[in-house]
Chains A and B, each alone.
Chain A
Amino acid sequence: MSKFFKNLFGALSDKPWDKEQMAIDNYHQGKTFDISNQTSAVIVIFGVSTVLFSLVVTGYLYSVPVGQDTSYLLKPNLLWLNTLVLLFVTYFFNKVTKSLKKNNTDNVKNNLIIVGFLSYVFLFGQLFFWLQLMKSGNYVSTNNYFSSFYIFTALHGLHLLGGLFFWGIVFSKVRKAEQTQIISQKKSIEALSLYWTFLLIVWVMFFLIMYVFNDTVVAWCRALLS
């Protein structure tokens, strides 16, 4: 990390008009970071979406609901199962990238199918959980907790759907491809894998803050505000 900052700030202190610096600069290849464009795109989206999700949580914590009724949520429910599914998705995506490194084409194809399938399972699980919530009388306008809950899970789901769109594009190419062509999709697959890891991190943060340790976090915020 320190090397990264050294490089970054080192670059900003270059004197481009100096003869010695010019000699060095002429060797520059034009890229700042040694990563593919696809991975760069995922990292940028990572930054943008992190701000988006953080602001939803900050908004929730800012107007900490008084006397929120979250008792329904405290029962064991689908959220645990969905979290598990998402963990499995990341696990299988890891297997995809490992198989890619070993050039194991069949494994790449099979694990990509599992990744897509489990992601849809997660989405349907979320929809089902929403239905359960609504059946128990907890709608988006019930209180600020549920408003934030619905909006966060909806945004997360939309991100996953966006990811699945690109997964579809990559998978349709990989499905028919021979080994050499799969290698050409390597960077896209690696970028997708990074994206799914990001979605898992977002989900885990949400799961901990707004579900598992919700009461503790709310109590802490109240103490901070008072």
Chain B
Amino acid sequence: MTATLVHLGRPDRTIKARITCTIDGHAVTVDEGTTILAACRTLGIEIPTLCFLETLRPVNVCRLCVVEVEGARVLAPSCSRATEAGMVVHTKSERVRHARRLVLEFLASSVDLSTTPGMADLLAEYACTPARFGPPAPQALAGERDAAVAGHHAATEIGFAATVAQPVKTDNDLYVRDYAKCVLCYKCVEACGVDHQNTFAIAVAGRGFNARISTELAVPLTDSACVYCGNCIAVCPTGALMPRAEFDMRAAGTWDETVQTTTDTICPYCGVGCTLSLHVQGNTIVKATSPLENGITLGNLCIKGRFGWQFVQGPRPVDAAPPAGD
């Protein structure tokens, strides 16, 4: 190796000790600071999550990933709780299963989870019976939940399950917000805010059961700070946020993921070179995403990458009359 005047390479700011803990009876050695969830994954132990994503900092709000830590009074969210030397963790105890079942039943009774990938299996695995809370209460009127004031939550009628059911917000041509499907995981807020986009168009408004994702003063997106990058759609775990094209196809009954192909290519616009995953159905691009694990995008795109691909499907010279002249 040649000598250099100074150190040239990447600064190492992450010198970590290794620690050993026990999960479900298996000893595992990981870097200090590794979360219980990450340690579980190295062991192949599956933990269900809703609000966790590798590319976002954990906000531990959904409580689906809780595990039992010996000696701790309460269950711990595995997505954010760091492992410690000598820690003994149980991920499948009856207490854990009971807590997860309750979380799933509360969510399933109050939120439309019909487009949440893997949810049907999860509800079955935990033997959930959300119907035991009664039939769903009637849908709120448009804007009703947005107008709720903290401290003024009326009790739901006896015999009905409280829900967040409400009309879909369709205030622009690029994506819809169907908050009847929102589990308040905060992922969209984090992606729009500090974790990726730093646009801060949305935040959590309200308290308790009236809490909801909202633009400032609940204005339509077109009056908000939104720049339509759709990085909120990319992280939404339930399909509450959905491109308009997909939403319309689903409504028309033509959306069929079983016949769709996904091909990775490079965005045709600026020189950054974002990987675009093109979802194609019947030789038509129906959606563009970017892989979460892509080092350039971390799953993010801008408005042009996520929505600006329509042009290849518009009128092309082959459709046009031949040029005039000689």
Bind each other:
no
List residues of A whose CB falls within 8 A of some B CB.
none
